[in-house]
Structure 1
Amino acid sequence: MTTPAQQPLPITGIPRTGLPAHAVVVGDPARAAAVAGLLDDAKEISYHREYRTFTGTWQHLPVVVASHGVGAPGALLLFQELAEAGVTHFIRLGTAGAIRPGVGDGDLVVADAAVRDDGVTRQLIPAEYPAFAAPEAVLALQRAARAAQAPYHRGVVWTRAAFQPGFLPLPAEAYERAGIAAIEMELSALYVFASTRGLTAGGALVVDGVNADELVDEEATGGYDPHRSVVADGVTRAARITLDALRLLAAEDAGLPAQTSPTTR
């Protein structure tokens, strides 16, 4: 008979303690499996609802890879339970719609901060509190992207709860003029959660199209299609960059020199 301390956490089904300190979090359970496929000794430890979790090692670094589904409220539940189980460093590997001119399909966006339009964090902390990445996570992602010779951009992203536009006017034009790089759905929740708990978080987003608000004439634009090869290639490249960034963070925490050359796996 298991004791309460031995029972898995209620939302994600992951163990209550003992997880590695470094995690890649993604939206899609299938993407979690794909990233885990890059690891040595990968093992699925839980699959409950949209929350699919693996452990393994990357260049000798123990890591967690876990999916959180679509939307910030559900994603926040994963972040909370991962932290309870031992994770201290998070990088969200996701996709996003480009807003800033010059940000192209398959490019990587390294997010310095996020607009808190996520639908959940205003219920947790006043709206004036910023959603910002840990600077060391941003720099680690930048170093890893440069080493991989990957096209990348840095900037602020817009985390928005609604995927499609509705009947209310939204500040898309203002955010474009302000230089917002891209739009996605979960990152600000991670940044607020991590910063308020003294944890380290970063975001690596692969562009899979333009802002959904602009797809008014689907016949003319071809509609939103995130399943193109340019996006898949970008996600695979970004997965390695994200794992390398976690390795850089671990080396920095340990006071060790970190290799920035791209991995060949």
Structure 2
Amino acid sequence: MIDYTEGAGYQYHTHVKKGDVGRYVLLTGDPGRCESISHFFDDPKFISYNREYNTYTGTIDGEKVTVMSTGIGGPSTAIAVEELVKAGADTFIRMGTSGGMQQDVIGGDVVIASGAIRAEGTSKEYAPIEYPAVATFDVVNALVDGAKANGAKYHVGVVQCKDSFFGQHEPETKPVGPELLYKWDAWIKCGALCSEMESSTLFIVGNYLRVRTGAILLVVANQERAKAGLSNPQVHDMDVVYRTTIQAVKNLIAMDKA
């Protein structure tokens, strides 16, 4: 039996240690996605599975790369990033799902986040709300190039991050419903592309820790299109997100080697 105590060198929540993970890490919410994502690596190996953190490590173009699940939301995402950095990681790309907010952001499209609205609680325990949650420029560019290489229909811009899934989808049932509806309308008017739950935390924690971050999100559907009586296709196939991200990692590896 493996000794996962702190003195043995393992991180408390994720059960990873130095040498287990690469400098490049792919983050996904669902633990069930990690094994399938690892198949894009050369020689993938299972590392650990504790709580919501499922981890595999392999190589891409000769460089060690890791995929880890974070579970849902900011708190568990922050823990993952903190512990992965302690284990040696310095580049993070979140691969997730989202709901479209602008009417031209349709199910099956991909959103590459350049920044995120901090409508969640975790990042406020790292930085004052005035500090912006922004992705790393090089990672955004690598993802854009990856999307182009894979023929993805993509958008680049600001995403909205929240803590309550049902606060988005059933705001009128909540005691603070009027506030939720007012802010949702404001985000749309400001041009927010889609809504999800982890990117703002990733960006803030990453900036604090001086590591590189990015996020690419599949648009599953768009409730605003449904409200407007427009077609609202629902898409759950993450393949384009995976392939775009793998190409982005290759781009970053080549850039770092150069």
Normalised by the size of structure 2, how large is the TM-score? 0.88
Question: Which stretch shows the higher mean deviation, 193-202 or 117-126?
Answer: 117-126
Q: Residue 4 and residue 73 in structure 1: after superposition, are their counterparts in 2 closer, same or farther (change >3 A)?
A: closer
Q: What is the Cα-based RMSD across aligned positions, in Å? A: 2.3
Equivalences for residues 112-151 of structure 1 within 5 A = 112-151=114-153
Structure 2 match to 1:207? 219
Task: State the number of aligned residues.
Answer: 245
Q: CA deviation at 1:51?
A: 0.4
Q: 2:162 aligns with which of 160, 179, 183?
A: 160
Q: Provide Cα deviations, 1:123-165, integer angstroms capped at 9, x if missing partner.
A: 2221111100000010000001001111110010001011112
Q: Residue 215 and residue 7 in structure 1: after superposition, are their counterparts in 2 closer, same or farther (change >3 A)?
A: farther
Q: 1:187 aligns with which of 199, 202, 208?
A: 199
Q: Provide Cα deviations, 1:148-206, integer angstroms capped at 9, x if missing partner.
A: 11111001000101111233122111111111000000110000011112110000000
Residue 65 of structure 1 pairs with residue 77 of structure 2: no
Q: CA deviation at 1:240?
A: 1.4
Identify the structure with the greater helix proportion: 2
The percentage of aligned residue pairs carrying the same residue is 32
In 2, the alpha carbon distance for the partners of 1:214 and 1:151 equals 17
Q: 2:25 aligns with which of 20, 23, 26?
A: 23
Tell me if the contact between 2:126 and 2:205 (Cα under 8 Å) persists in the aligned partners. Answer: no
Deviating above 6 A after TM superposition, structure 1's stretches of 4 or more consecutive aligned residues are: 213-216
In 1, the alpha carbon distance for the partners of 2:64 and 2:110 equals 24
Tell me if the contact between 1:24 and 1:243 (Cα under 8 Å) persists in the aligned partners. Answer: no
Q: CA deviation at 1:109?
A: 0.2
Residue 231 of structure 1 pairs with residue 236 of structure 2: yes
Tell me if the contact between 1:17 and 1:84 (Cα under 8 Å) persists in the aligned partners. Answer: no
In 2, the alpha carbon distance for the partners of 1:154 and 1:11 equals 33
Q: Residue 214 and residue 150 in structure 1: after superposition, are their counterparts in 2 closer, same or farther (change >3 A)?
A: closer
Q: Secondary structure of 1:209's partner?
A: strand
For structure 1, which runs of at least 5 residues remain unmatched after alignment? Answer: 256-265
Tell me if the contact between 1:159 and 1:184 (Cα under 8 Å) persists in the aligned partners. Answer: yes
